[in-house]
Amino acid sequence: MKLTEQDLHILDFDTHEDYLNSLVDEKSLQYFGDREIVLSLYRTGYRALTKEAFESQRSFLQVAQDPNTLFSRNIHPTDPLLQELAKRERPNRLGLLSTIIYMRYRRKATEISGYIDYEEALRRVHHDLQYSLDWKAIFSGAKVLYPSPADLLYYNAKTERNRQNDTRNYQIRCDPHRGIIFRNMYDRKNIYPDPFATDYGTNTSRTEVPSELYEQVVLYDHVVRKNY
């Protein structure tokens, strides 16, 4: 992919606020009269990228500009799950595909289960957030991937601790008939993880992955249709 100077201009800004401030000029100040009013309008997406769009586009450009940022680069996993995740890393980081990982993992006679927003878990590393993962070690097989309290849904059968978290990509909903629903925050499409369903949502597929490391692993792949 060939990036233009206009594309790369977004990479000049570390934050969305920096980007918005760069758009305020004398003409806009003369028209609206106040800098904060102008910024408030820009935050809504008026003549500017919203915060979500800015962050997604910036992430896209970083990966497109430098493929070395891929954690799975030059690693050849042997486990089927890691092979599937390696295939999906780049499109997830580019925002073209959004993968939710469901897994049940036994650790010292305790089962941990949950749903992981794959892109969120990849991005967490760059922001040095709690429960950040060593993805290179995971892809090489030196460490094991399993849900954490920071993921979409987490349940520890021994302690009965459970957590649920909305992410930048998904909002969790509950339907009395369809159960858990994940709503994609970019195209507003629903993902239905019900294993007995015949429809998992628009542009969404379900893949069960055999793995000796886990009790069960399922990948829900959603092709994102962005609205900006």
pLDDT per position as a tens digit, 89-104: 999 988 899 999 999 9
* Domain contains 71: no
Question: Do 50 and 111 share a domain, yes or no?
Answer: no
Enumerate the H helices of 73-117 as residue ranges. Answer: 80-93
Count Cβ atoms below 10 Å from residue 133 Cβ, excluding itself.
Answer: 18
Element counts in the chain: helices (H) and strands (E): 8, 9
Both 177 and 106 in one domain: the answer is yes
Same-domain check for residues 24 and 96: no
Residues 106 and 58 in one domain: no
Q: For 19, phi and psi rounded to 5 degrees?
A: -60, -45
Within a 10 A sphere around the Cβ of 190, how many other Cβ atoms?
18
What is the model's pLDDT at position 189? 96
Instruction: Clarify whether residues 32 and 94 are in a common domain.
Output: no
51-55, 62-66, 134-138, 183-187 — which is least confidently predicted?
A: 62-66
Please check whether residues 141 and 173 belong to one and the same domain: yes
Cβ-based neighbours of 54, under 8 Å, separated by 6 or more: 10, 16, 19
Q: Which residue matches tokens 């650790």? A: 107
Label residue 52 by pLDDT band (50, 70, 90).
Answer: confident
Residue span of the structural domain in which 43 resides: 5-65
Domain match, 15 and 84 both: no
The least confident of 31-40, 79-88, 123-132 is: 123-132
Together in a domain, 87 and 158: yes
* Mean pLDDT of the 144-160 span: 94
Asked if 85 and 42 sit in the same domain, the reply is no
For 77, other C-beta atoms within 10 Å of its C-beta total 16
Task: Judge if 57 and 102 occupy the same domain.
Answer: no
In a domain, 106, yes or no: yes
Q: Give the pair of three-digit tokens for residue 185.
A: 């925050």
User: What pLDDT digit, counting tens, does each position of 194-220 carry?
Assistant: 988 889 999 999 999 999 889 999 999
Across-strand partners of 205?
Answer: 221
Secondary structure (DSSP) of 140-161: HTSS-----TTSSEEEETTTTE
| 70 or 82, which is more confident | 82
Of residues 64, 50, 48, the one with CA closest to residue 11: 64
Q: In this predicted structure, what is the pLDDT of residue 193?
A: 95
Q: Count how many domains the chain has.
A: 2
Q: Which residues is 204 bridged to in the sheet? A: 222
